[in-house]
Structure 1
């Protein structure tokens, strides 16, 4: 288990987002001299449901989402994810542990992308109705399998997150860095 707490990770995430927003705002206000950052090679956002596979001790997410690429093209895709905590069980509230996760996007025209990565899965106290998230996996990935039409994404790395909610819903997000 890691010494980090979900609150510390949440604060660090909020600080990172605030810093990125500030940097984006500063570069936009710098006028024509500022160069815009290139679009990410890929951004995946999906929603679905999750369940624990008791025999394996991992969590499986299935749903639908949108895959956007640097070219500006976007496609509706099916999304699947597997979160596998190192000890085969999800951590309790306030606890974190290492985990391996795979995320796949497929089903769009010529789209079949798989990402794998390491990170941490943390348990949270559910506080209905303001917070229904029970667990969050956060980590880094590398694209390791692609279809012919998405070959340019092979080896792309980035950040991904899988959120699990008490009502059985799930959210998946990935972006190259």
Structure 2
């Protein structure tokens, strides 16, 4: 009996040491993690595309953005409807730049006094051009948001 208790204590001690000695693995940091700062703006051009401008902060760098949202049929959908669309996001700072090209779906939203979003694009992007070579080819998800009074916002994350 004493021998089995001693064996159990030794086994538990070995397990405790092994668990404490195993290295912790952290998930890698995303290459792209951008969020709009403040409120951007948008305007519709003559072709029916939304042209967004504003500022972003995050990983790889902070900067200004210019984005385009184009529904496949050339007109943004009515509230409650969704359709295929494409988007681009170009981010620049004094020393860096990158371009994301995206495909996804734009949906018209029912806006009111408390919910001001009128259209929401969610899609998958690929970094097609960047001053940093390691960013080229990176992919992830992107969101372009249009709101009442010409307000806009963007978000992109390397998933």
Output the TM-score relative to the length of structure 2: 0.81
Which of 110, 126, 134 does residue 152 from structure 1 map onto? 134
- Matched with 1:42 is 32
Unpaired runs of 5+ in structure 1? Answer: 1-30, 70-74
For structure 2, the 5+ residue unaligned runs are 1-19
CA shift, 1:144, in A, is 0.3
- Name which of 148, 154, 158 aligns with 1:172: 154
Q: The residue matched to 2:99 in structure 1 has which SS? A: strand
Pick the structure with greater CA Rg: 2
Matches within 5 A, 1:7-156: 35-46=25-36, 47-53=39-45, 55-69=46-60, 75-106=61-92, 108-128=93-113, 130-147=114-131, 150-156=132-138
Q: CA RMSD, aligned part only?
A: 1.6
Instruction: Please give the per-residue CA displacement for 1:135-167, whole angstroms capped at 9, x wherever unaligned.
Output: 0000000000112xx211000000000011012
Structure 1 residue 102: Cα displacement = 0.4
Cα pair 1:43 1:174 within 8 Å, conserved: yes
Detail structure 1 runs of 4+ shifted over 3 Å in the superposition.
31-34
- The offset of 1:34, in angstroms, is 5.1
Q: CA deviation at 1:77?
A: 0.3
State the secondary structure of the residue aligned to 1:167: helix
2:149 alignment partner, SS class? coil
Residue 35 of structure 1 deviates from its aligned partner by 2.5
1:163 to 138, 145, 150: 145
State how many pairs are aligned: 137
- Flag the 1:104–1:67 CA change in 2: closer, same or farther, 3 A: farther
> TM-score, normalization: structure 1?
0.73
* Structure 1 residues 84-122: Cα deviation after superposition (integer angstroms, max 9, x where no partner): 10010000000000001001100x242110000100000
